[in-house]
Chains A and B, each alone.
Chain A
Amino acid sequence: MAKKSWFLPAILGIVAIAFPPFLGGYFQHILILVMMWVAMATGWNLLGGYCGQVSFGSAVSFGLGAYGAGLLYLHWGISPWWGMIVGPVLAIIVAIPIGLITFRLRGGYFVLATLALAEAIRIVFLNWVEMTAGPVGIVIARTWGYQKLPYYYIILAIAALSLYLVYRLMKSKLGYYFISIREDQDAAEGLGIPSTKYKMYALIPSAGIIGLAGAFYMNYMAYIEPNVVFPLIISAQMILTVMLGGPGTFWGPTLGATIFILLSEVLRAFAGPVIGTLHYLLFALILVLVIMFLPNGIIGDWDKVKGAFRRKKPVYVGGE
């Protein structure tokens, strides 16, 4: 990992901490969503971007985190804030057997298996009404009604924690193992790296972080049901935000999440009234173009992005 200049992140950090109290509730809400997705994207990136295991079932961790918090309240009347511990733990406990089953599969098959398992779990949560309240969902009372700031600082701390965790992991030996598994699993195994074991070492923090974001979601939105926290679109959005920013880069997920959330809301709220239902079409088109022309994300393909802004220098053949 190249040495990082800490100047910019420090500035961003100060902005993130000091700016929000001056904003209105609507903007604070958007920033909360941004930070939540930063955490989720960063968590996904650990397993998917750095370790190369593209899971289409990350919504499972998110949903389990949310239900970990919600079920505490539903069955035992315990405050869902304890879910911030129970949620990630539950997400990890379920992720482990899923990993053990699916990590033996490669490439496209792994993608499909995670997708299938995620859908199966969603259906189980919908049907197992005695345990999960099924489609009726769980409603809780919000701790802070009118104020957004406490929620914001909590999710900001979670996002910072996830970035820090990923930073430490990637800086350690584990980071090298992850990347080597991603680049060439057979060669890594040939060198004596047990791939399943290290994939699990990537999966556990990944599931934990995403689960923590899920537990936060329960506390903030105050209502969950299986079709809100487990659907395919949540997994897909995690992947898209990372792909947008740059998989396998440190700041990629953060950038991707920020742009994704802000862009979709700007288009919805401000372009929507003008171009009506076309706003989502516009958004999807932008996604297609980014994937086509920047397949490594904005940071991953930064050279291409820079190149687009440079004026083309005339090419002289022959030295004149």
Chain B
Amino acid sequence: MKKVKLGLVLGLVVVLVAAFVLPGCAPTPTAEAGPIKIGVNLPLTGAKANFGTMDWLSAQLAYAKFGIEEVGGRPIRFVIEDNRGDPAIAKTAFEKLATLDKVDMVLGGYTSACGVTQAAAANDLKVPLVIFSASKDDITMEGYEWVFSGARVPASHYADAMWGFLDEVLIPGGLKKVALFYEMSDWGTSSAEGLRPGFEKRGIELVYDEPYDSDAIDHKPMLTAVKAAEPDMIMAVSYLMDASLIARQMGELRLNVLCFMGQAGGYTMPEFVVNAGENANYVLTTANWSPLSAWAGELAGVKWINQEYYEGYLGSYGAEPDYHGAGGFAVWMIALDALLRIDAAGKPINRETIRDALKETKLMTVMGLIEHKEWTDDMGHHYYNQGLPLTYVMQWQNGAQEVVWPLDAKSADYIFPVPKWEER
């Protein structure tokens, strides 16, 4: 009796295990003869799906735009894995792509945790990985030779353009005290770490410096404490919905400051103005892409301009993209450029040659010039295969985002100090 029962248990387990093993036993074509397989490892379901989907849809737009469906006589095939935003699943998916599907390269990395596990897996398994937008600095600081920054900006550099704006506009305009709050995950915390030295160097006093829970319903207690600290400027790092709530609740509390600066993230997203309404006006934000920037160029014989990506996405999907999407578009451009360069040099396309080609990447994209290089920044971070896309300062004016800094890229003049709530 017991034997039958446990025998059925064994049978069940063996069946499930076989369900895995058998697909792996099928003979796979030799690496350099079959299609070029490109793995995609993103959150396509789950709480982070909107960003993962935006990345992937944008990459698909790029694929369609440049129209290259085969390189070196080999067709391009995508193998798509959904990692649900969970780092353990991201690793599982990467293992599958690398060892079962035997892809030649992987495009991946949204959410910093998934980025870290994918980068480690990429380096262990020796598969080139191009990152979409995971912002954790560490990802390109570990010296992984198989990991490439792609379109991502390290979290501590999102504010690069802001410092010039501070030095030339805000500080002369009376800025002495800043209140800093940041959402509590890796994104907010790393950004804050990158921001503090910049404020200290300029002698600015941080009168408030706290992490907060991005899921909170009511930010008013925190904003009340900020109000009591009487800052000249508020610096905030938030995701989309907390950014919207904070903007609204600042208005409700009539929290007046000389200006409010957000660190990209939620503050640059098109939905910010939808969800915050008029409270979004005058909000300044760092940004690493704008639909207004005039990047243009030619790839694979096809001319492109940045504005066209924006309009194409809006037309095809009925929603505005933000820098995550631009990153997705740029990542495909980077991948395609690498593949074409290998083919032009007469070399076979495999993981090593892709890695070597990516090392040499120096390409103009919708995010500006992307170059995979090694360098050290003035905070002591040493990066490998990391580019440094340009950043801007933007400001919401009349319900639209305008580039206000650097001046040679501006689309409108900045408004500083911003009007008080009671006067709006």
Residues of A within 8 A of B (CB): 2, 4-5, 7-8, 11-12, 15, 19, 23-27, 29-30, 33, 126-127, 129, 134-137, 139, 142, 145-146, 221-223, 225, 227-228, 251, 255, 258-259, 262-263, 265-266, 268-270, 272-273, 277, 279-280, 299, 302, 306
Contact = CB atoms under 8 A, between A and B. Distances in A.
B196 to A, nearest CB: 13
B379 interface: no
B113 A137 contact: yes
Main secondary structure on A side of the interface with B: helix
A135 B185 contact: yes
A26 B3 contact: no
Nearest to A3: B2
Contacts of A11: 10
B189 A5 contact: no
Given A12-B10, A26-B95, A126 B138 contact: no
Task: Report the contact-size class of chain B (Cβ under 8 Å from the partner).
Answer: 35 or more
Given A26-B96, A30-B20, A30-B92, A5 B3 contact: yes
Contacts of A302: 5
A126 B96 CA distance: 31
B211 A127 contact: yes
A15 B100 CA distance: 21
Contacts of A258: 13, 16
Contact of B89 (A25, A142, A268): A268
Q: Lowest 9 A-B CB distances belong to which pairs?
A: A145-B124, A25-B99, A8-B6, A26-B95, A29-B95, A277-B45, A262-B16, A26-B96, A24-B99
Given A26-B100, A255-B13, A266-B16, A139 B116 contact: yes
Given A129-B189, A135-B184, A145-B123, A262 B17 contact: yes
Interface in B226-279: none
B7 A8 contact: yes
23 contacts: A8-B6, A8-B9, A24-B99, A26-B92, A27-B21, A29-B91, A29-B92, A30-B20, A33-B92, A126-B211, A135-B189, A136-B186, A137-B116, A139-B138, A222-B117, A223-B87, A227-B185, A255-B9, A266-B19, A266-B20, A268-B89, A270-B23, A279-B45
Given A8-B3, A26-B100, A223-B113, A228 B124 contact: no
A221 B91 contact: yes
Contacts of B142: 139
Contacts of A126: 184, 211
Contacts of B45: 277, 279-280
Contacts of A137: 113, 116, 186
B157 interface: no
Interface in B111-159: 113, 116-117, 120, 123-126, 136, 138, 142
Given A8-B9, A221-B91, 6 more contacts: A5-B2, A29-B95, A136-B136, A258-B13, A262-B19, A280-B84
B82 interface: yes
B189 A228 contact: no
Contacts of B5: 302, 306
Nearest to B83: A268
Contacts of A228: 87-88, 113
Contacts of B93: 269
Nearest to B16: A262
A133 to B, nearest CB: 9
B91 A269 contact: no
A251 B3 CA distance: 14
Contacts of A127: 184, 211
Contacts of A259: 12, 16
A211 B7 CA distance: 32
Contacts of A5: 2-3, 6
B190 interface: yes
Given A33-B92, A221-B88, A302-B5, A23 B21 contact: yes
B259 to A, nearest CB: 27
Contact of B87 (A145, A221, A255): A221
B24 A23 contact: yes
A26 B211 contact: no
Nearest to A146: B124
A33 B24 CA distance: 18
B120 to A, nearest CB: 5
A99 to B, nearest CB: 28
B88 A33 contact: yes
A268 B82 contact: yes
A170 to B, nearest CB: 17
B42 to A, nearest CB: 12
B263 to A, nearest CB: 15
B211 A24 contact: no
B44 interface: yes
A15 B9 CA distance: 14
Nearest to A8: B6
A220 B45 CA distance: 25
A272 B82 contact: yes
Interface string B71-93: 00000000011101001110111
